[in-house]
Amino acid sequence: MTIIQALILGVIQGITEFIPVSSSGHLVIIPYLLGWDLPSDQMFPFDVLVQISTLMAVILVYREDILEIILSMIAGIRSKKPFDDIKAKTGWLTILATIPAILVGLLFKKQIETVFTLPVAAGAFLLVTALLITLSEKFGKKTRDITSLSWIDALVMGIAQAMAVFPGISRSGSAISGGMFKGLNRKTAGQFTFLMAIPIMTAAGVIGLIDLKLLPNTKEFLPMMIVGFITSGVVGFFAIRWLLGYITNHSLLPFAIYCFVLGCGTLLFSAGNPFYTKTSGMEPENSIYSITYSSSIEWIIPLINTCTDNLSPSIFTFERSESFQPETGIGVYLSYAEPQNSDLFAYEIGSDLLMPAAHENNPIDQLTLAEMESVYTGSISNYTMLKKKCPDCFSGQDQDSKQSLQIWGYPDDHPFKQLLHNTLETNHLSPGLLIAPTPELLKQALSLDNSAIGLLPQKVITEPLKTIPIADLAEGGFPLSIFVVSQSEPDSTLVKLLGCLQGAINP
């Protein structure tokens, strides 16, 4: 963690701790969306310790009320009438409301720490927060004030607060919603929620201090902690004062909408980027990994070499193969073809385009799907016929009009041939179609013959070849997914590698 990262996270904590949008959820999701691979053994105590700073902010805001409550509780004990005074009663109910969260925190501490490494879980829990706020606004009567607060109200709000030990469920949002479900008005539910925060945040802070003491290299981490601590406290002080004024006369539905949008956005982003910063808190399981790849995707090797530079001391071996053989025990297999074996783990890590290609001296500048079909089915067999049907497809270069078009394709079992069949909606390709077993060999054939045309992945097309875009396709070619296949779920080292490749393939 850097000073800038600590500063940003401190601001986020200060703003979101008391606003019902889950500060802990933001501390999980924001680093994830920004691509920060922060160590989980630092993030958990950092999260808790910046909460101590915001705890100091709420104590500062409520200092007079807190002092009056404590004095009233002491006076009640001395007079043997602990619940007669409303302030003393509020104090005892605050303690009661704290018990559920303390029990949940002690019983499920390890599970909670694990969830703090899962942005998907935080995103899902944000949807829970959105649902709680929406339901409480719709069905809560919101008519009762602090004088009617009962032990049942406190217990309900305490149980709601206990849900917020998981990132994404807002502590203030769930507790205020619990109070509104019981008929408390927003101001009363908010005030009692902030009082409830004091003992539970104090307990969480003690746990965080213990965890911080056990961390290695604490001195190196301390400056970041100090920056986050100060920033969150200052920002939190102003945030709580703003929210106290806001909730008296305003609905909480805007916060529910925000939680819903951020939660859905996180889930969608994670679904589309399965390897993006997925490695937080994970340790490598192996030291030697085998990377097997099809010849059509050999261009990816330089990207792999770049990505593996930061993964030492792990060792990577490379092998080219046209099929995935699980019995060989390889680490991962990279190709354009998705495996048909449902027992294998397969992930899409990028995309490419399958495009017509030719020698750079070939006069064809573009094609349409109609011309593509005519060429590949044999309806057009020479340049004269093609130019007559599509004069705009040509550049000004001269070409022997009687020269035949040399069209290259792939064997029946090749995925590119199946893609061509599906696109042209025909299985009747020209009997004169020349066959290349791999894109690499087809590329060599096109390099030696100016009259030849064939389909190649765009990332394979280099000098002396050129792409021939298909004019009536938005991207100029056929979408082509890049897959990684594994016999077992990738461990942390492979996940880091695949996450790096995902960003390098389609930056």
Predicted local distance difference test score (pLDDT) of residue 179: 86
DSSP line for 205-261: HHHHHHHHHHSTTHHHHHHHHHHHHHHHHHHHHHHHHHHHHHTTTS-SHHHHHHHHH
Q: pTM of the entire structure? A: 0.56
Pairing of strands 315-320, 288-293: parallel
Predicted local distance difference test score (pLDDT) of residue 467: 94
As to burial, measured by CB atoms within 10 angstroms (0-12 exposed, 13-18 middle, 19+ buried), residue 295 is middle
What are the phi and psi torsion angles at 411 (to 5°)? -60, 165
What residue has token string 């550049």? 395
The Cα–Cα gap between 17 and 181 comes to: 22
Predicted local distance difference test score (pLDDT) of residue 282: 42
Whether a cis peptide bond, with omega within 30° of 0, leads into 223 is no
Predicted local distance difference test score (pLDDT) of residue 260: 92
For residue 110, the SS3 value is helix
476: left (phi over 0), alpha (psi -120 to 50) or beta: left
> How is residue 342 annotated by DSSP?
T
Beta partners for 455?
356
Q: What angle do CA 268, 272, 274 make, to 5 degrees?
A: 110
Neighbours of 244 (CB within 10 A): 16
Predicted local distance difference test score (pLDDT) of residue 43: 66
In 3D space, the residue among 231, 175, 238, 227 whose CA is nearest the CA of residue 201 turns out to be 175
The Cα–Cα gap between 52 and 228 comes to: 11
In 3D space, the residue among 493, 443, 439 whose CA is nearest the CA of residue 322 turns out to be 439
Predicted local distance difference test score (pLDDT) of residue 327: 53
As to burial, measured by CB atoms within 10 angstroms (0-12 exposed, 13-18 middle, 19+ buried), residue 319 is exposed
Pairing of strands 465-467, 345-359: antiparallel
Q: Where are the alpha helices (DSSP H) in 80-185?
A: 86-107, 109-115, 119-139, 151-162, 171-181
Half-sphere exposure of 416 (CA within 13 A, CB side): 27
pLDDT digits (tens, 9 = 90+) for 224-271: 778 888 888 888 888 888 887 887 778 888 988 999 999 898 888 887
> How is residue 326 annotated by DSSP?
G
Q: Please, are residues 237 and 122 in contact by the beta-carbon 8 Å criterion?
A: no
Predicted local distance difference test score (pLDDT) of residue 285: 46
The Cα–Cα gap between 406 and 413 comes to: 21
In 3D space, the residue among 229, 231, 129 whose CA is nearest the CA of residue 172 turns out to be 129
The Cα–Cα gap between 12 and 26 comes to: 7
Please list the ranges in the chain whose pLDDT falls under 50.
Answer: 278-285
The Cα–Cα gap between 278 and 497 comes to: 11
The Cα–Cα gap between 333 and 485 comes to: 5
Predicted local distance difference test score (pLDDT) of residue 106: 72
The Cα–Cα gap between 154 and 245 comes to: 23
Domains of the chain from N-terminus onward: 11-272 (no CATH), 283-507 (3.40.190.290)
Structure tokens at 156: 């309900």
Say how far residue 96 (Cα) sits from the centre of its chain: 38
| Helix (H) / strand (E) containing 169 | none
Predicted local distance difference test score (pLDDT) of residue 279: 45
For residue 445, the SS3 value is helix
As to burial, measured by CB atoms within 10 angstroms (0-12 exposed, 13-18 middle, 19+ buried), residue 274 is middle
For 297, residues 6+ apart whose C-beta sits below 8 A from its C-beta are 334, 335, 336, 457, 482
In 3D space, the residue among 482, 438, 435, 434 whose CA is nearest the CA of residue 456 turns out to be 438
Q: Please, are residues 25 and 112 in contact by the beta-carbon 8 Å criterion?
A: no
Structure tokens at 157: 């709000």
